[in-house]
Structure 1
Amino acid sequence: MNHWQKEMVAAAIFGITYVLISGRQMKILPLNRPAAALLGAVLMVSTGVMTPQRAYGAVNYDTLVLLLGMMLISAYLYLAHFFEWAADVILKYSHTPGRLLLYLTLTSGILSALLVNDTICLMLTPLVVAVIKRGKLPLLPFLIALATSANIGSVATLVGNPQNMIIGHFSHIPFSEFARSLAPAAIIGLAINFGILRFGFRSVLRAAVIIRKPDVVLKLDRGLFVLVCIVFVSIFVCFFAGLNLAWTALAGAALVMVLGRRETHEVLKLVDWHLLVFFAALFVV
């Protein structure tokens, strides 16, 4: 194929891939997002648009390694029952549905700035659903708050979402400079988000009453939690010092794996491998 033919084929594959990714699963071709992206990557190579070597070179491994490292840290927080504990504490100290909405907005936004927003949504959603049902409250405003706040809060740092990681990799913006520039925007965004949700669901929240159950036991593996916190703070100190984001995160995750004394296969089950495969294939497409 000549240059223009390759461009046409590449554009067609790109378009088909993104239709499959953004559209619902079709009966004829029941593909989820990672499978659709993988199909696009394979077509790019098999049609001759890219050589295998060029396809390997297109993958941004720093982003994938950084994602993996932060997901592993999140997995250990999950095993320490941190997310469950945090959800129970939020419900305990929320005297009104409006305050619960505020606490959830802040928790989702802050955690997504420190960890990967996809992971936060994945791990917090079932816990938030359980807490909201336990409090006999409407689900919709709180789930919307969780999702939107995770997206907004993740803007604040280079490790908040995969898009920021890619930007950081190619632009070489220091972690501290990125956070200093974007954190204020994220804070303002969270405030606006809460205001919109509070106003939009005012009648629902006003009519709701939190029903507490006194027998709720807050479980937190303090030993593992303290270990993860120490490593986590050390990772962010290294980030601000200008060390490589990907290998710093992976080194921290490896340290927790060694000292955490948990079954490794249980930890790896909590990693969102679908997301890693999805992004790896998208780099090729």
Structure 2
Amino acid sequence: MLAVFCLTYYFILSNKFKTSVMVFLMGLSVSFTKIVDSMTIENLPKFIDFNTIGLLAGMMIIVGLLKAAGFFQFVAVMAVKWGNGNIRKTLSIIVITVALLSAFLDNVTTVLIFAPILFFISDAVGIDATYLMISAIVASNIGGAATMIGDPPNIIIGSASKLSFTSFIVHLAPICVLILILLIMLWFRKVPADKGMEDKLKQLAATDPKAAIIDKKRAVALLCVFLAVIVGFSLHKFLDYEMALISMAGATVSLLIFGKSFEEATKEIEWDTLFFLIGLFMITYAMKETGIIDYITKVVAAVHSPYLLLTVLIWLSGFASMFLSAVPTTTVMIPVVQSLVQMGVSPTVWWALSLGVSLGANGTTIGAAVNIVGIALLKKYSNNVVSFGYFVRKTMPMTLLILSLVNLYVILMYYISW
């Protein structure tokens, strides 16, 4: 099983084949070779987290329809308009908006929406497009770490931990807001500004945001459904409904509003992401059943000091997500954290894992899907090739500072029993 695990990570990192297809194939190979006897069709719910899959699929449909109605394009133009020609203010508002949207939407979708605006600003005022895109990537990962639905790692952790949507916001949003403020203060303090830049930005800000809305009535109706889904997530513990059920109900109502069928909705679903996750769930379950996860748990649990244990989890998950990517790291670490909690360790370990994985992903080009997509957009539209080393040099100092702050924050949470 260890060989299958290593081979899977080789395919994830090498990019020689379509990653999602290879990971799903490796998951299937575990069943075919009968490494784990219980991995049969009738036992699917045991090793595939359908709550995570359903939640993601539903949100993908809702977000895709909102994008088709022009709502997010409207938000992007408004962000520039609010900047009123001031380059630092404009970039700060864009970064805040990217982070805020990423807290409730798929990070990749957010960056795809803002990429044209960033490239336009780059061309208009002469600021390096790479600098702007990296800012958006980092902001997206920070925003995604603030809620349960902000990025796939948190969705998976939320489903496994049974912690509420509200609990994620209450515990994670404060440190993410602090980190975002720090990013803006440090990242944009040296941005050049002159009268020519301001004039060009004012011309861009003069664009009518309403022109981005393709269908106003549907956009408003879809936005209401989206907000209702978020409220449903907040109350899901009280209502005793799975978040996947709420998400899929919202997606179905959205399809009715937009007049689309389920067949047409398939275009809005990122099937590669879903099958990638299914493959990882299968491999992780097999690792658990064959004792590999238990061995990792024993090694981690050997750290008896709770403060040191939280520190180890944050930095281990942070660096693992940098070089192995956030989602695979999360699927492997979840059984470890579950075992630790069952052994009596404080549930604070869930927050250590969540923040370590989500924010550590900023360290390299392969840390998260949004990093890979952002770099690809740079190459496609601005012809800027960003090497692995260049990205690390630009983001690693900030990432190490972020993980240090997270370390102190999580230890504080444990100390005050929050």
TM-score, normalization by structure 2: 0.59
Question: Which shows bigger deviation, 109-118 or 132-141?
Answer: 132-141
2:273 aligned partner: 275
1:165-199 C-alpha deviation (Å, 9 max, x unpaired): 11111211121122111110111121122223214
Write the distance in 2 (CA, Å) between the matches of 1:152 and 1:143: 14
Preserved CA contact (<8 Å) 2:80 2:94: no
- C-alpha separation in 2, matches of 1:213 and 1:172: 46
Q: Which residue of 1 aligns with 2:6?
A: 15
**Residue 71 of structure 1 aligns to which amino acid in structure 2?**
M
Find the counterpart in structure 2 of residue 47 from structure 1.
33
2:63 — aligned with what?
74
Q: Which residue of 1 aligns with 2:254?
A: 256
Q: Choose from 127, 135, 141 the match for 1:151.
A: 141
Cα 1:87–1:123 shift into 2, 3 Å: closer
| One-letter amino acid of the counterpart of residue 227, structure 2 | V
Amino acid at match of 1:231: V
Tell me the amino acid that sits aligned with residue 254 of structure 2: V
Residue aligned with 1:209, SS: helix
- Using the alignment, how far apart are the partners of 2:280 and 2:108 within structure 1? 17
After TM superposition, list the pairs within 5 Å mapping 1:27-106 onto structure 2.
30-51=16-37, 52-53=39-40, 56=44, 57-94=46-83, 95-106=85-96
What is the 5 A alignment of 1:119-198?
A: 119-130=109-120, 132-133=122-123, 137-198=127-188
Range that drifts further, 189-198 or 249-258: 189-198
1:226-265 equivalence runs, <5 A: 226-242=220-236, 243-262=241-260
Structure 1: which 5+ runs fail to align?
1-9
> How far did residue 141 of structure 1 move?
2.1
CA RMSD across the alignment: 2.4
CA deviations 1:100-130 (Å, max 9, x no partner) are: 2211111111111112223323443345434
- When residues 124 and 283 of structure 1 are mapped into structure 2, their CA distance, relative to the original with a 3 A threshold, is farther
CA distance in 2, matches of 1:213, 1:183: 32
Runs of 4+ residues over 6 Å off in structure 1: none
Residues 20, 182 of structure 1: alpha-carbon distance in 2 compared, 3 angstrom cutoff: same
Aligned partner of 1:186: which letter? C
Query: 1:114 is paired with a residue of what secondary structure?
Result: coil
Q: Percent same amino acid among aligned pairs?
A: 25
Kindly indicate whether the alpha-carbon contact (under 8 Å) linking 2:98 and 2:143 is maintained by their aligned counterparts in 1: yes
- Where structure 2 has 5 or more consecutive residues not aligned to the other structure, the ranges are 284-418
Contact 1:98–1:198 (CA under 8 A) maintained in structure 2: yes
Q: What residue identity is the alignment partner of 1:198?
A: F
CA apart distance, 1:266: 5.2
After superposition, the Cα gap between the structure-2 partners of 1:127 and 1:276, relative to the gap in structure 1 and judged at 3 Å, is farther
CA offset digits 1:243-285 (Å, max 9, x no partner)? 3211101101110101222476554323222111111111112
